[in-house]
Structure 1
Amino acid sequence: MTAAAPPPLGLAVIGHVNHGKTALVRALTGMETDRLPEEKTRGLSIALGFAFREDPAGDIDFLDAPGHEDFIRAMVMGAAGARAVLLVVSGVEGFGRQTREHLRIAGLLGLRDGLVAVTKADLVSPQARDDLRVQLAAELSGSFLAPAPIVFCSAVTGEGLKALGREISALALRTPPPEPLPGVFLPLDRVFSLAGTGTVVTGSLQGADLQAGTEAVLEPSGRRVHLRQLQVHGQAVAAARAGGRVAAALRGVAPEEVRVGDVLCTTGAFPSSQRIDAELELTPDAARPLRSGDEVRVLWGARQDLARVRLIGASALEPGGSGLAQLRFASPVPVHAGQRLLLRRPSPAATLGGGRVLDPVAPVLRSRTLEARRELLAVASEGRLEPIAEALARRDGGAVSATEAARLSRRPAEEVRSRLARTFVRLDEDLFAPESAVQSAMQAYLDRLGEAHHAHPMRAFVALGALRGGLSRTLSRELIVHVEGRLADSGEIRIERGQAALKGHDPFATLSPDQRARLGEIESTCREGGMTPPDASVLAGDADSAALLGLLVESGRLVSLRNHALRQTLVFHRDALDAALRDLKAAFPPPAEFTTGEARAALSTSRKFIVPVLEFLDARGDTVRRGDLRQVLHPRNRFGPEPVPH
């Protein structure tokens, strides 16, 4: 079997203006990255440039970032699409102000490996090179490039270019592969139109590989598009590898409907939001602390946005410090969990620090849930699924949303559902619960039911709505329903007519002799009343009698009916209602039909009682109503009219 080709390496080429970045890339690749007329006229890069070099260790995509401080956004755009950096330092001028700024920004954006190329080496004497190495070591000390190889080279004479090429190959081999994401994520850094092709977009591909001929969505607009064609390094391809540059021809959208900074992504995988939760770090030389309410400019991917800061768990973030915060935007932004960001002061422009997105679709922060939110974000910063799921279960009453767990852990939702199903209990298509949470919920349900029986021993059942409502203060409703079903299946509880009881609960066993005697009196009075039962309010004249009457109704010996027209509750004995059905069947043998008045006369009762009785028989399936007429149904045909014989 042929081994898969290594993934392409995005290499951000950074450094001070006029230190020879573009000339070095041209010498390494034979390609010109300055493509704008103004760049060629001024000899100054003002936009992100692109070139590539084929390499056995994987194709190298050079992202040539402008060195001038006015074009920090373009530099961030290049670094955001890279997995390593090539820091370019002029051998003549040494470290410049933007060299330091670019190096710091690259570190804030999460880059952790790279090389240092000292250009214009043909103008540097051997003695000066030794001094320069010492200076570079001091400048790089404490940065992620402190251990990086330093290569002296010249784009003019070709000195050091082969050595630099070998170091780039070694860098490609040791750089970790692109971070997996739950789908395609392509921040767009160029949008244009080509005759015969239509709308074309380009970017550095992240997440999953991109397939030609598929559907995708543009965020934050939500517009669906079809990928007509893909190109990598100017060649049409069926699929583009994550980690490299790609150009995509889109069907279904005009160029003016797409903006630089939009994201082409897998449908439903990266919804846009006006709130994101992130962990932030301020640079030690930040001019002042960061406080809630401050406005910041956020640079990430190929876009920049203004946001208001709401710190989580702190009143201020001091220079050199780190902490959690929510960033709030005027309009939705498309980002993914784990995405790096740069914070800048809007005016005067200056870098404040950086950060990493923890939740790209964050909820509104509330004081009462702030501690749970802080706990969840602390776990999410590690990106491990199981701890995230456990934290979600603690926050949400034992239930875990697979969709949210996937978003926070940066994994595809189907993978998360599959993994959770191995050790968690499935509540529905998207919700799971740890077995420990299920066991705790079952015990809580039994305890709650036992407390209700203790408080009202003469009640045979407890309404499910009351049980669920009380438990829902601490437990997920889906988890409550799940454990309710488990307990019923195991026989630990009984459920009848929307009510529940413990299997051993017998309210009749708790009655005193006097209560038993009074219970018998109430039942006998209702039985003897037949179709003209006594007034329920008289039967329930005191609290004890009312409880006993309720017990008889709950046990099914008595039936409580409602006369809605008179707004009265009537209580019949079950035997009386069964006798009424027999009398109606005798008076009006099926298929004979009868009116309400005829039924009232047959049962020797009044309209006050006959209407709720007939409605009860209809609901029970003993009779069926058609307009003003009713018919008694045969037992075998209680769910519809009798079949017509042929």
Structure 2
Amino acid sequence: MCDTFFTIGMAGHIDHGKTTLTKALTHVDTDRLKEEKERSISIEPGYAPLQTEEGKHVSIVDVPGHERFIRQMIAGVAGIDLVVLVIAADEGVMPQTKEHLYILQFLGIKHCIVAISKIDRVDEEMLEMVTEDIRDGLEGTNFHDAPYVYVDSLTGKGIDKLRQTVFSNLKKVKFRDAFGSFRLPVDQVFTVQGQGTIVRGTIYEGIVKKGSQLMLLPKGNKVKARQIQVHHKDQEQARAGQRTAINLGGADKDEISRGDVLVYSDHFLVTDTIDVSLQVVDDNFLPVKQRSPVNIYIGTSVVMGKIVFFDRNELEQTRHEVLCQIRLDKNVVARRGDRFILRRPTPVETLGGGWVIEPKGVKYRFGEETIEMLRNKKEGTPGDLIENVLTQHTLLDRKQLVQFTSLDEHVLNDTVSKGLEDGYLIEISKQQYCLLKTFTKIKAEVSHHLQSYHEAFPMRVGISKAELIQAFSETYPRLFTEYSLSVLFERNECKKVGQFVALPSFHPHLPKQWKARMEEIIATVEKDGVSVKKWEAYFDGTPLSQNDISELAVYLIHSNQAYRLTNEMLIHQSAFERAVSVLKRQTENTFGLKEAKEALYVSRKYLIPFLELLDYLEITTRIDDKRKWSIERII
């Protein structure tokens, strides 16, 4: 039979006997600190192993009950699987009992046993009244059908019954996932002389092995698990559900604090903005205004932030969930599905709690559209989650998909494989994934961009590939744009001409508006032969803009209708060919400047640039002050 590991929480009002009951069950006194002994109250969560049966390994967490220690209480119960709600028979349900109940429900704890303690202090009638009071208090909560056990820790009454009830109820509890990436939120950090830095916490998921290289988030410090203990016994490994102490190498005590998270992989996100589903307490509280300061308790950390609403400007008591966002003052480690508690810093009170929908939120517009988007994220299947994050981020690898969706790696791998098979996912280089619909979108946008470009610059071959990629850089990752273009080239949905990109059917042409005027200018340039005017002189008295003049020059050169004679002059291609033919007929295989001048009958102003153009085109080769015809390049 496979061993299973659970953590049980002892919760309830101060002085209702949680610590004494824990000792009666485990024979361990969980009040460790001197202050706790002196004041007879628990300040820090205390932990003890419960002797178990049938391969079950159970840790009991005795959480503080005093209001001033609510942070420690939340840190203590954050990782529990079942709660024993301790209520003294001589006092009944107290204010702290109610607050603990809210916190336990908001943290998603579904399994509860009610232990009515100190029964020897009351008579049967009083016990019945207290029991009825408790039933009324639990009505409408997750724990309305919780079993009741009557105990007296000092005399031992009911202790065996409570132990049996615990074992029975643990059979209903789904044990924690040991197959995910290891995560341990730190709730205690201390040093032991000769050993170094020790951290303690309940493992939320995964397995840690002795010698493992780990990471402390949110700082990102790398550490090593030098030693692992579970209830003071050395272990080679510890797994989800176990209360664990780890001796860390590579970290000083001052570098670690409660709320840090020890992880094995980089699948976990560090974030300062989380989208959440919030349920508020079933009591009246002062309205919470838009962007009010709040304290959020998540894992073992507590961070101040601001609450942002998208469908209201003020939060009042409601039975409906509230989809909103918490913008934090400091980074936390969060995954989708993580539970949290929300409290007001002043006046201090618990407002509600819930779970993280999106661990890496961004700023959204106020309105129903955002609420609908958050609702879709909240209710999504694994495939929906992947589609949502790829819609937002366009291109992600598997590690990033795990981070943003918080899906188990096995679930994610299966969902990605199915997505590729069904065709709504596309895999590009190095296991990078995008949505088919995003590719379809950029394909349409590229086509539209090219069409607009061709209309604006009809005389150009196309847009340079670098300029096209840059045009989409604010919307899409470069790798995705390059991949999309390569597919479009393969499918002949756009064409590449050298370094330029164009639509398949496009060919550079004169703009319809100026076609007649430009054809006249081109004809005049051709007529002028070698003795052309400066290019801009041909446009004197025309309405063509400076941009039109420049564009026409580039068009003629790229379409091989003209050559650049100088920076300021163009020679028509047919005029050039005629001049070369004349020069060839009237010179020997080798000729000088004098022979060329006599053949073409033009001034040095045109002759020198013309001969240099022949050299550039490799029609001639210059040797000292002579030129030699290159037979294979003669026009």
**TM-score, normalisation: structure 1:** 0.79
Residue 426 of structure 2 is matched in structure 1 by: 425
Residue 461 of structure 1 is matched in structure 2 by: 462
Percent identity of paired positions between Structure 1 and Structure 2? 26
> 384-393 or 27-36: which moved more?
384-393
Residue 493 of structure 1 is matched in structure 2 by: 494
Alpha-carbon offset, residue 377 of structure 1: 3.5
Alpha-carbon offset, residue 58 of structure 1: 2.2
Alpha-carbon offset, residue 489 of structure 1: 0.8
Structure 1 residues 268 and 400: alpha-carbon distance in aligned structure 2, compared to 1, 3 A threshold: closer
* Matching residue within 16, 20, 23 for 2:17: 20
Residue 89 of structure 1 is matched in structure 2 by: 87
> Is the counterpart of residue 552 in structure 1 residue 550 in structure 2?
no
* DSSP-derived class of the 1:391 partner: helix
2-side partners of 1:341 and 1:308: how far apart?
A: 15
Residue 74 of structure 1 is matched in structure 2 by: 72
> Is the counterpart of residue 407 in structure 1 residue 406 in structure 2?
no
Q: Is the 8 A contact 2:442 2:484 kept in 1?
A: yes
* Matching residue within 255, 272, 275 for 1:274: 272
* Matching residue within 150, 158, 161 for 1:160: 158
The CA RMSD over aligned residues, in Å, is: 4.3
Residue 337 of structure 2 is matched in structure 1 by: 338
1-side partners of 2:619 and 2:162: how far apart?
A: 92
| Residues 492-538 of structure 1 deviation map (CA, whole Å, 9 limit, x = unaligned) | 322113322332334569989x96997598389569957x8653334
Residue 595 of structure 1 is matched in structure 2 by: none
Residue 329 of structure 1 is matched in structure 2 by: 328
Structure 1 residues 450 and 35: alpha-carbon distance in aligned structure 2, compared to 1, 3 A threshold: same
2-side partners of 1:426 and 1:167: how far apart?
A: 51
Q: Map 1:118-133; keep pairs closer than 5 Å.
A: 118-126=116-124, 128-133=126-131
Alpha-carbon offset, residue 243 of structure 1: 1.6
| Residues 87-117 of structure 1 deviation map (CA, whole Å, 9 limit, x = unaligned) | 1112232222211111111112221222111
Alpha-carbon offset, residue 466 of structure 1: 6.2
Residue 42 of structure 2 is matched in structure 1 by: 45
Q: Map 1:112-261; keep pairs closer than 5 Å.
A: 112-126=110-124, 128-178=126-176, 183-261=181-259
Q: Is the 8 A contact 1:24 1:155 kept in 2?
A: yes
Q: Map 1:221-620; keep pairs closer than 5 Å.
A: 221-320=219-318, 322-363=321-362, 365=363, 367=365, 374-382=371-379, 384-395=381-392, 399=395, 405-411=401-407, 416=412, 419-420=415-416, 422=420, 423-429=424-430, 431-450=432-451, 452-453=453-454, 460-464=461-465, 478-506=479-507, 522=522, 525=525, 535-538=534-537, 543=544, 549-558=553-562, 563=567, 573=573, 609=609
2-side partners of 1:310 and 1:608: how far apart?
A: 74
Q: Which amino acid aligns with 2:483?
A: H
Q: Which amino acid aligns with 1:51?
A: A
> 325-334 or 246-255: which moved more?
325-334
Q: Which amino acid aligns with 2:286?
A: R
Alpha-carbon offset, residue 247 of structure 1: 0.6
1-side partners of 2:335 and 2:453: how far apart?
A: 47
2-side partners of 1:612 and 1:325: how far apart?
A: 72
Q: Which amino acid aligns with 1:407?
A: Q
Q: Which amino acid aligns with 1:502?
A: L
Q: Which amino acid aligns with 2:264?
A: T
Alpha-carbon offset, residue 250 of structure 1: 0.9
1-side partners of 2:165 and 2:249: how far apart?
A: 41
Alignment gaps of 5+ in structure 2: 592-603, 621-629
2-side partners of 1:12 and 1:576: how far apart?
A: 94
Alpha-carbon offset, residue 338 of structure 1: 2.5
Q: Which amino acid aligns with 1:33?
A: T
Structure 1 residues 497 and 543: alpha-carbon distance in aligned structure 2, compared to 1, 3 A threshold: farther
Q: Which amino acid aligns with 1:302?
A: T
2-side partners of 1:607 and 1:242: how far apart?
A: 87
Residue 31 of structure 1 is matched in structure 2 by: 28
Alignment gaps of 5+ in structure 1: 589-603, 624-632, 636-646
> 166-175 or 137-146: which moved more?
166-175
Q: Is the 8 A contact 2:383 2:415 kept in 1?
A: no
2-side partners of 1:356 and 1:115: how far apart?
A: 24
Structure 1 residues 391 and 519: alpha-carbon distance in aligned structure 2, compared to 1, 3 A threshold: same
Structure 1 residues 252 and 509: alpha-carbon distance in aligned structure 2, compared to 1, 3 A threshold: closer
2-side partners of 1:556 and 1:66: how far apart?
A: 86
* DSSP-derived class of the 1:51 partner: strand
Q: Is the 8 A contact 1:385 1:405 kept in 2?
A: no
Alpha-carbon offset, residue 405 of structure 1: 4.0
1-side partners of 2:114 and 2:182: how far apart?
A: 31
Q: Is the 8 A contact 1:57 1:169 kept in 2?
A: no
Residue 596 of structure 1 is matched in structure 2 by: none
Residue 597 of structure 1 is matched in structure 2 by: none
| Residues 369-388 of structure 1 deviation map (CA, whole Å, 9 limit, x = unaligned) | 98776555433334633223
2-side partners of 1:164 and 1:286: how far apart?
A: 35
Alpha-carbon offset, residue 468 of structure 1: 5.3
* DSSP-derived class of the 2:440 partner: helix
Q: Is the 8 A contact 1:392 1:399 kept in 2?
A: no
Q: Which amino acid aligns with 1:279?
A: S
* DSSP-derived class of the 1:118 partner: strand
Q: Is the 8 A contact 1:57 1:173 kept in 2?
A: no
Q: Is the 8 A contact 1:282 1:317 kept in 2?
A: no
* DSSP-derived class of the 1:39 partner: helix
1-side partners of 2:139 and 2:377: how far apart?
A: 31
Alpha-carbon offset, residue 77 of structure 1: 1.0
Structure 1 residues 549 and 303: alpha-carbon distance in aligned structure 2, compared to 1, 3 A threshold: closer
2-side partners of 1:344 and 1:133: how far apart?
A: 30
Structure 1 residues 36 and 510: alpha-carbon distance in aligned structure 2, compared to 1, 3 A threshold: closer
| Residues 425-482 of structure 1 deviation map (CA, whole Å, 9 limit, x = unaligned) | 1345475322233234324433443455466665553454665566678766654433
Alpha-carbon offset, residue 140 of structure 1: 0.9
2-side partners of 1:538 and 1:17: how far apart?
A: 97
2-side partners of 1:561 and 1:267: how far apart?
A: 64
* DSSP-derived class of the 1:23 partner: helix
Alpha-carbon offset, residue 60 of structure 1: 1.1
Q: Is the 8 A contact 1:191 1:200 kept in 2?
A: yes
2-side partners of 1:508 and 1:156: how far apart?
A: 99
Q: Is the 8 A contact 2:462 2:502 kept in 1?
A: yes
Structure 1 residues 575 and 483: alpha-carbon distance in aligned structure 2, compared to 1, 3 A threshold: farther
Q: Which amino acid aligns with 1:409?
A: T
> 461-470 or 315-324: which moved more?
461-470
Alpha-carbon offset, residue 539 of structure 1: 5.5
2-side partners of 1:474 and 1:220: how far apart?
A: 29
Alpha-carbon offset, residue 82 of structure 1: 1.0
Alpha-carbon offset, residue 143 of structure 1: 0.9
Q: Which amino acid aligns with 1:555?
A: S
Q: Is the 8 A contact 1:91 1:119 kept in 2?
A: yes
* DSSP-derived class of the 1:277 partner: strand
2-side partners of 1:122 and 1:16: how far apart?
A: 19
Structure 1 residues 511 and 253: alpha-carbon distance in aligned structure 2, compared to 1, 3 A threshold: closer
1-side partners of 2:3 and 2:565: how far apart?
A: 77
How many correspondences in the alignment? 593
Q: Which amino acid aligns with 2:559?
A: S
Q: Which amino acid aligns with 1:411?
A: L
Q: Is the 8 A contact 2:309 2:324 kept in 1?
A: yes
